[in-house]
Amino acid sequence: MLVSTLSLIISIRTFDLTAIWQALRVARYPWVVPGVMLYLGALAARTLRMMILFRRERSISFHPLLATMAMGRGANNIYPFRVGEVVRWALFNRLNHISGPLALASIVIERVFDGLTMLLFLVVVALTGGIPPEWRELAWGALGLFGIALAGIYALVLWPERFQSLTALVTSRLVPSRFRRQTQDAANRLILSFATVRSAGSVTMVLLCSLLVWSFETLMYRTMMEPFGFEVGFHRLMLMSAAANLATSLPSAPGNIGTFDGAVILTLKPEIGESLAIAYVSLLHAVLWSTETFAGLYFMWRTGTRGRELAQMAAADRPAQKEGTRS
């Protein structure tokens, strides 16, 4: 809650409630429909990415896996501490019969590739010369980080044993003895997470699916500008998408309230003004939250899963949540 509040305080300087209300009052809300469809396309792409990650253990049909993804993301909008990830981890096992270690590894890999895709967006903006001067050093740093991280992921998949030996050597020399075992165990878990992918081809497919996910979402952000009758250039749109979704990596209130909104406002207000940026992100975030939450509720109804069961999963699997955080 503190991080969410600070994000809004930093991003909002002049709060003109009349101007915000006027922008929302005259907005063309039928544009919400294609926005929702684009977001559902992103959810489908997320599900396809998970199918690729799981196919080494077993083949899962699209629809039941889509239900799990929707319920987990919907739970993140309601419960604090990203409990939706724990719920999703439990549902993978209970509904899709995926082993706990593979489910945890796949969630870790998914998060890593989401972050890499956002870095790639920053790189695209930098290479096409559309990034503001104050962001250029950050973008070029993102290019280097993206290249190193992607090469590291391929290496982890192809040669996990070598990385285990290397981390054992580094840990024995640099980590104090009382923390050595825990550090080595955490490193091994991370290495084995990526080793579950087992092929460079699968890594490439996961990367392509990640690009598809965030292309759908970015198109949705662009579509949601139509109700207010404004548009921004390609560079500003990509910068906004990257900044907003990297900001959601910070701890925040349920549904990324504050962190997502603050990044969008800071990115857009130099071009369209603060009041219009606040009105835009208010509608955008409301549509995102509603789509995810009601999709989760729909699949809860279809699968016969009750809210009490999700809460019990979160409580029963709390140790697994801690394990996933350490990993």
Residues 141-192 have pLDDT tens digits of: 766 777 787 788 778 777 888 888 888 888 888 888 888 888 888 777 777 7
What is the radius of gyration, based on Cα positions, of the chain? 21
Q: Is residue 123 part of a domain?
A: yes
Q: What is the mean pLDDT of residues 47-64?
A: 86
Q: Which residue has the higher pLDDT, 127 or 318?
A: 127
Q: Is residue 311 part of a domain?
A: no
Q: Is residue 168 part of a domain?
A: no
Q: Is residue 314 part of a domain?
A: no
Q: Is residue 210 part of a domain?
A: yes
Tell me the whole-structure pTM to 2 decimals.
0.81
Q: Is residue 65 part of a domain?
A: yes
pLDDT 10s digits, 222-281: 999 999 999 998 888 988 998 888 888 788 888 889 899 999 999 999 899 999 999 999
Least confident of 149-153, 216-220, 309-313: 309-313
Rounded to 5°, angle at Cα 249 from 248 and 254: 55
Rounded distance, CA 142 to CA 128, Å? 14
End-to-end CA distance of the chain: 25
Rounded distance, CA 237 to CA 264, Å? 10
Structural domain count, the chain: 1
Q: Is residue 20 part of a domain?
A: yes
User: Can you tell me whether residue 24 is helix, strand or coil?
Assistant: helix
Q: 324: pLDDT confidence band, cut at 50, 70 and 90?
A: very low
Q: Return the C-alpha torsion angle 97, 99, 105, 108, nearest 10.
A: 50
* Tokens (6 digits) for 312: 């019990």
Q: Is residue 303 part of a domain?
A: no
Q: 321: pLDDT confidence band, cut at 50, 70 and 90?
A: very low
Question: What is the overall mean pLDDT for the chain?
Answer: 83
Across the strands, what pairs with 253?
257
The pLDDT score that the predictor gives to residue 325 is: 38
Side-chain-side CA neighbours of 270 within 13 Å: the count stands at: 10
Across the strands, what pairs with 257?
253
Q: Is 82 left (phi over 0), alpha (psi -120 to 50) or beta?
A: left
* Tokens (6 digits) for 278: 């606040």
Side-chain-side CA neighbours of 33 within 13 Å: the count stands at: 2
Containing domain of residue 55, as a range?
Answer: 2-158+197-288
Q: Are 109 and 205 in contact (CB under 8 A)?
A: no
Q: Which residue has the higher pLDDT, 158 or 33?
A: 33
State the angle between helix axes of 32-54 and 200-223 in degrees (0 to 180), rounded to the nearest 10.
170
Rounded distance, CA 115 to CA 98, Å? 24
pLDDT 10s digits, 68-99: 999 989 888 887 777 778 888 888 888 888 87
